[in-house]
């Protein structure tokens, strides 16, 4: 059985309704019942993993090759994610160093397809280091 669409979430979810940022998300995924915590909401670690993947895609494109996550600078879970939400991850480069690149990731959940609600659920900042095949830092080409 498909879980797509989920439920409308908290009664005031519509009050949090926002518009998705322009452009395509880096990643769009639907969490499943296997991804919930003991309270029935999506496990924070699942969201963190997807954020790391999405940020890594943006970083690798900028660094034109392999990157390794060196730091999670900040991570804010603003609203719960529910089973069946369509979760979209948007990422942008906010800082470029000699070998590192810092990515801001914003995450939005869309639910209640009959009357679509979009909620911003997470904000995060992560730093990635461009690495060579030896796993050591390499300069990012200007
Ligand atoms: C990423 C890694 C290769 C960096 O190696 P390192 O010897 O620590 O590298 P350096 O000290 O030369 O720092 C490299 C860059 O990372 C930045 N950096 C290091 N630690 C940082 C931190 N805590 N926060 C932000 N940036 C950091 C440095 O400022 C430098 O950036 P710059 O060149 O743009 O100025 C190494 O730490 C590593 O392999 N870590 C494990 C990566 C990994 O497995 N990630 C997945 C975890 S599940």
Quick check: is 80 in a domain?
A: yes
Which tens digits make up the pLDDT trace of 9-46? 555 677 789 999 999 999 999 999 999 999 999 999 99
Quick check: is 32 in a domain?
A: yes
Quick check: is 141 in a domain?
A: no
Domain count along the chain: 1
Is 126 in contact with 73 (CB distance < 8 Å)? yes
- 3-class state of residue 64 by DSSP: coil
Q: Can you tell me the mean pLDDT for 88-103?
A: 98
Q: Can you tell me the mean pLDDT for 50-61?
A: 98
In the 8-state DSSP scheme, what is residue 141? Answer: P
Quick check: is 119 in a domain?
A: yes
- What is the extent of the structural domain holding 87? 13-130
Ligand 1 centroid to 67 CA: how many Å?
Answer: 10
Quick check: is 1 in a domain?
A: no
Ligand 1 centroid to 64 CA: how many Å?
Answer: 17
Burial 10-37 (b: 16+ CB within 10 A, else e): eeebeebeeeeeeeebbbebbbeeebbe
Ligand 1 centroid to 55 CA: how many Å?
Answer: 15
Query: Is it the case that residue 127 has pLDDT exceeding 70?
Result: yes
Quick check: is 4 in a domain?
A: no
pTM for this one? 0.93
DSSP bridge pairs for 29: 87
Quick check: is 86 in a domain?
A: yes
Average pLDDT of the chain?
Answer: 92
109 CB burial (10 A radius; 0-12, 13-18, 19+): buried
Residue in 59, 126, 137, 141 to alter for ligand 1 test, most ligand atoms within 8 A of Cβ: 137
By alpha-carbon position, which residue is closest to atom 36 of ligand 1? 70
E strand segments, the chain:
27-29, 67-77, 86-96, 100-111, 117-130
Beta-carbon-side half-sphere exposure of residue 119 (alpha carbons within 13 Å)? 25
Longest dimension (CA), the chain: 52
Quick check: is 98 in a domain?
A: yes
CATH number at residue 57: 3.10.129.10
Q: What is the pLDDT of residue 53?
A: 98
Ligand 1 centroid to 31 CA: how many Å?
Answer: 30
């Amino acid at each position: 059985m498909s879980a797509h669409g989920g439920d409308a979430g908290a009664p005031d979810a519509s009050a949090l309704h926002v518009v998705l940022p322009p452009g395509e998300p880096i990643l769009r995924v639907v969490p499943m019942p296997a991804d919930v915590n003991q309270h029935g909401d999506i496990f924070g670690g699942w969201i963190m993993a997807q954020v790391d993947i999405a940020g890594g895609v943006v970083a690798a494109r900028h660094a034109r090759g392999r990157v390794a996550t060196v730091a999670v600078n900040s991570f804010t879970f603003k609203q719960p994610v529910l089973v069946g939400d369509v979760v979209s991850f948007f990422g942008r480069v906010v800082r470029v160093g000699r070998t590192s690149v810092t990515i801001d990731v914003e995450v939005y959940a869309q639910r209640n397809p009959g009357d679509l609600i979009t909620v911003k659920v997470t904000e995060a900042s992560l730093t990635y280091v461009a690495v060579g095949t030896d796993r050591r830092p390499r300069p990012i080409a200007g």
